[in-house]
Amino acid sequence: MKRKGSLSVLVLVAFSFLAGCEILQTENSFSKDLALYGVSSGGTAAFIALKTVLQSNCASCHSDFVSYTEEEWVDNGYVIRGDADNSSLYQRLRGSNTGGPENMPPDSTLTTDEISVVNAWITGL
C-alpha cells in the first residue's frame, strides 16, 4: 500500500515534468516573434526593440522592413554601423536631429523614445 502511494507520486511528478517541458517548447521566444512580426526574428534586445518600432510605425507602407536581418539593413545601404546620423534609416525620421518636416513617417512623428530606439540600435551595431 505504502509503495503504491509513492509510485503514483513518482508518476505524477514525471507527468508534471513532461507537461512543463511541453509548455516551454510551445511558448518559446521564436513563436512569440512569429506572432509579433510574422517572421522568425531573434537577435539582440536592441534589434528586437527596433523591429517593434518599425512594425507599429512603418510596416503598413514598408512591409519588407520587419523582415530584414541586421546584415541586410547594412548591405542594402540603409544603415552604416555605429553612425546613425549618416544612416538613411535614421536621417529620414522626422524629429531626429537629421530629419526634416517632409520625412518619415509621412503622417505622424515617432516619440522621442522610439527615435532613441532606432539611434541606439544603429550606434551599437
Interface residues with ligand HEC (CB under 6 A)? 57-58, 60-62, 78, 88-89, 92, 104-107, 110
Closest CA relative to residue 66, chosen from 86, 93, 91, 43: 43
At its nearest, how many Å lie between ligand HEC and the CB of residue 95? Answer: 10
At its nearest, how many Å lie between ligand HEC and the CB of residue 93? Answer: 6
Per-residue cell: 81? 554601423
> Is it true that the peptide bond before 106 is cis, omega within 30 degrees of 0?
no
Nearer to ligand HEC, 104 or 122 (CB): 104
Nearer to ligand HEC, 28 or 108 (CB): 108
Q: Residue for cell digits 553612425?
A: 83
At its nearest, how many Å lie between ligand HEC and the CB of residue 90? Answer: 8
Nearer to ligand HEC, 64 or 71 (CB): 64
Contact indicator for 90, 80 with CB cutoff of 8 Å: no
What does the angle CA 75 – CA 71 – CA 103 come to, to the nearest 5 degrees?
65
